[in-house]
Structure 1
Amino acid sequence: MPNAMNLSLLDAIESAFQLLSAEPDPLAFDGTELGHGLPTRPIAVNEIRELLLSRSEPALRDTVWAEVIRLVRQGADREQWMLAAAGLMVPGLRSVVGSGTALAREDAAAEAVTEFLSRVSRMDPATERMFPRLLGAARRGALRAQRKSGEAGQMPITRSGDPVGVSSHRPSHPDLALDGLLRNGVISKEERDLIGRTRLENESLIEAARRLGISYHACSRRRSRAERRIAQHFAALGFHSESDMRNRAVWRSPAPGASPVPNEPVAA
């Protein structure tokens, strides 16, 4: 088995799902309650997933997901059934994550899983067409992460490849740009560390959230607030063309008449 520290989020969910399904005491549905020609015996959650993948029957799918939602909300093993719900949806979650860098895919997976589980926890077991609604929630989460990733990727750079905010006539590195923003009070030390680790050192937002002891959403909001202030800072300095970016120093105060960018609270 791969080292758990090296697993992606969806791989980790899949591993946990298989453990839930393991003999001699797998987490199982009561086949006598499900109908649709299923075996009238306990049916392990991984077996149900295989049946759903092999039988394209919307009525069966709705019945299974209605039972999942009921067990999540009312069952004795609610946490296990929440994990089982994520495991049952892993094939769908993989389909919505899309392409891109490993870091972008991991952020998209985290948003997709978060949105999916949030919907699971709120959904009424009597809801019709449950599976497409749950998958749609996951897709919206993934798209939100992909938009954020795309916005970050559009941070302007000079023709020489220097990040905006570092003069092209001196040695430059994104770390120096962040240091300059920190010195000018645009971002806090904690925000500088968060952006540096997740944008420059390939730490995922999931890992950052664990390290900071906060939720994924709180971590994502914290970084988004900081990056929004950075964009506002550049706009206040009047960077509208590439020549502006190359030739003007950005570590001074905003131009006369421009509003300084407030340093928002760091707390999530």
Structure 2
Amino acid sequence: MDRRIPATEPAVARHGETLLNDIEYRFRLMGQGPSPLSVDGRALGLALPRRAIALPELSAILMHPSCGYAARDAAWRLLVQRARTGDPAWRVGAVGVALPGLRFRAYLLAKLFSGDVQAAIVEYFLRALSTVDVAKPGVVGNLLSAAFSKARAELRDLEPASSGVPNHAPGAVLPPAPYGHPDLVLARAVPAGVITVQEAELIGATHLEEVSLTAYAERTGQPRWNLYKRRTAAVARLKAAIESGELSDPYDDVVNEATSTLVLDAPTARKRP
């Protein structure tokens, strides 16, 4: 597949192993200067800071546990609408805001395949921006699920026929950025041996992306009861690891500082379970 897209957008064919880092660098630059790429928090409402919010700060806010689902969906509907105008800056911006989720899914793919997982996940995320139904809840989860499914199918097709075991491809993807977000907690849990890649995907889909266990069972062709038992056991191990400090996030203070305005503006905001 020819992955070439305009030079003003993420160069998905260049340096696959560092692609997400390249995008993050450009994304951070977009949030600096006198006129950073931003959204109007006052217009969005829903307990978001009532001022212009640069996209890197918006990303931190949307990941924070105090940010409710309604605010997250409102922000992502706006990001998708602006990306659909064709403006390369907004397409890069949407990828940048989604970087934590993209890193997590690239990490999972790299455990299974030896192909260019970062290029594949970014390619299909950009495509999903044009097709996702923004009227449905869980906009970013739907975007990431679509990108993950399409990237996984492509990478599976590109695997050598002789490959009968998962690839662990050292260096195929860099460790996830250390943000305090549930997706990234799952990503830290996999290399720590707390849960498997398959368990992380199961928990991510059915707990974070609001996919029903029945729908997930139908999608994967696995018995619902078996999935329920596997998820219950995996969640118990995950909870124990979190409570013991094994999966603690050393960057919690950074995230809390970045989202302090949100906390002050919305003291009663619903916390994510």
TM, length-normalised to structure 2: 0.49
Q: RCO (CA 8 Å, sep 6+): is it higher in 1 or 2?
A: 2
Pair member with larger Rg = 1
